[in-house]
Amino acid sequence: SKKIVIKIGSSTITSKDGVINKKFLDSLASQVKSLIDKGKQVVIVSSGARIAGVSTLCRWSRKEDVNYKQALCAIGQVELMDSYRIIFNKYNVHVAQILLTREDFNDSSRTLNIRNTLFTLLDENVIPIVNENDTVCVEEIKIGDNDMLAAQTTVLWNADLLIILSDINGIYDKSPVEHKDAKLIELVDNIDELEKNISIGRSSSFGTGGISTKLKAARLVNKFDINMIVANGKKDNIIEKLESGEEKGTVFI
């Protein structure tokens, strides 16, 4: 694949206490750098703003209040981008911030502008880092989660592959956290069939989407003949290993 969208889940970008996981970001930066060196183009969709906001302020109060949540995202987005900027710069890679809402994908002049900005950044070898613009989104009108934002970005950019990095090796027949004997599903060519045959447990404490939004994202990109992979972001060199076949994750074709 030449054009790759990589989505980073909240539980992957932050450690247990909500602090941004610098070790993970460093490994991501080095993997993205080697993809660029191979002539590939990468767009990152990153979660984690709200959690970073929580750990910045060191308080959890009023966390269900919508405006408070939006404020936490605004605070955390800066922390998040700051970490991306510093760590990617170590590998001589520049990053750019793109904040989007669902409406942006329904408006043709906006999608044209987004596409043009993406193309220009990528021509300059700058990595766009996309996140939802939480300030202008009330909970109900949000894209909902970054799995769908990543899928919409993948389609808009006409990428070849969407890689969703989470804290699990892929999609299992039942929740791997609750069931020790859960089996990894390596290939999905029929999402309706898959949905009938698996059970979906709770998502991780910081995750928002869970498995059902990942299936929704897969449906969208597959409709445009684009493959999607769910894999474990915590494994060393996961992107390279996926490309070489050493690691499989769950592939949606």
When asked if residue 232 is in the footprint of ligand ADP (CB under 6 A), the reply is no
The minimum distance between CB 7 and ligand ADP, in angstroms, equals 8
Helix axes 108-123, 146-157, angle to 10 degrees: 80
Cα 161–235–131 angle (5° rounding)? 50
When asked if residue 9 is in the footprint of ligand ADP (CB under 6 A), the reply is yes
In DSSP notation, 157-183 reads HT-SEEEEEESSSS-BSS-TTT-TT--
Q: Which of 213, 107, 211 has its CA nearest to residue 156?
A: 107
Which residue, 32 or 45, has its beta carbon nearer to ligand ADP?
45
When asked if residue 215 is in the footprint of ligand ADP (CB under 6 A), the reply is no
For residue 238 the two structure tokens come to: 């996961």
Which of these ranges, 31-39, 51-59, 186-194, 200-208, lies near ligand ADP under the rule CB under 6 A?
Answer: 200-208
Binding mask 153-182 for ligand ADP (x = CB under 6 A): -------------xxx--xx-xxxx-----
CB 69 within 8 A of CB 75: no
When asked if residue 234 is in the footprint of ligand ADP (CB under 6 A), the reply is no
The minimum distance between CB 174 and ligand ADP, in angstroms, equals 5
Which residue, 36 or 184, has its beta carbon nearer to ligand ADP?
184
In angstroms, the first-to-last Cα distance of the chain is: 14
Strand locations in the chain (E):
3-8, 41-46, 95-100, 127-132, 161-166, 187-188, 227-232, 250-252
- Which of 5, 12, 25, 131 is in the footprint of ligand ADP by CB under 6 A? 12
Q: Which of 171, 152, 249 has its CA nearest to residue 210?
A: 171
Which residue, 121 or 146, has its beta carbon nearer to ligand ADP?
146
Q: Which residue reads 């060191």 in tokens?
A: 58
- Which of 198, 215, 217, 226 is in the footprint of ligand ADP by CB under 6 A? 198
Which of these ranges, 53-61, 92-100, 127-135, 201-209, lies near ligand ADP under the rule CB under 6 A?
Answer: 201-209
Give the residues lining the site for ligand ADP (CB under 6 A): 9-12, 166-168, 171-172, 174-177, 198, 200-201, 203-204, 207, 209-211
